[in-house]
Chain A
Amino acid sequence: MDDHKSIYLKNAIWLAILTFLEVGIAYIEISRSGQVVLLLAFAATKMMLVAMIYMHLRHETKVLKRILFVPIPAGILYTVALMYDLPFRWVM
Chain B
Amino acid sequence: MNQNQTQAIPVNDPFGQATTGKLGMWLFIIVDGLSFTGLLIAGIALRAASPEIWPVAGELLNIPLTAFNTFLLICTSFTMVMALNCVQKGDQTGLKKFLGLTMAGGVVFLGIQVYEYSHFIMVDFLPSTSIYAAIFYVTTCFHGLHVLSGVIYIACILRMAGLNAYSADNWDHVEILGLFWHFVDLVWILVFTVIYLI
Contacts and interface: CB of A to CB of B under 8 A. Distances in A.
Interface of A: 4-5, 8-9, 11-12, 15-16, 19-20, 22-23, 25-27, 35-36, 39-40, 42-43, 46-47, 50-51, 53-55, 60-61, 63-64, 67-68, 71, 75, 78-79, 82-83, 86, 90-92
Interface in B165-198: 178-179, 182-183, 185-186, 189-190, 192-194, 196-198
B185 A50 contact: yes
Of A15, A27, A35, A67, which is in contact with the most chain B CB atoms at under 10 Å from its CB? A15
A86 B74 contact: no
Contacts of A9: 78
29 contacts: A8-B81, A12-B78, A16-B74, A22-B192, A23-B197, A25-B197, A26-B63, A26-B196, A43-B189, A43-B190, A43-B192, A46-B189, A47-B186, A47-B189, A50-B77, A50-B182, A54-B77, A54-B78, A54-B80, A54-B178, A55-B186, A61-B15, A75-B37, A79-B41, A82-B41, A82-B44, A86-B45, A86-B49, A90-B45
B30 A67 contact: yes
Given A39-B197, A54-B77, A68-B26, A83 B182 contact: no
Interface stretch (B64-72, B114-122, B139-147, B156-164): B64-72
Chain B's interface: helix, strand, loop or mixed, by majority?
helix
B182 A19 contact: no
A9 B182 CA distance: 15
Contacts of B57: 26-27
Contacts of A61: 14-16, 18
B43 to A, nearest CB: 11
A66 to B, nearest CB: 10
A83 B6 CA distance: 47
B179 A55 contact: yes
Interface of B: 14-16, 18, 23, 26, 29-30, 33-34, 37, 41, 44-46, 48-50, 57-58, 63-64, 67, 70-71, 74-75, 77-78, 80-82, 85, 178-179, 182-183, 185-186, 189-190, 192-194, 196-198
Contacts of B37: 71, 75, 78
Given A8-B81, A26-B196, 7 more contacts: A19-B74, A26-B57, A26-B197, A27-B57, A42-B193, A43-B190, A91-B49
A83 B44 CA distance: 9
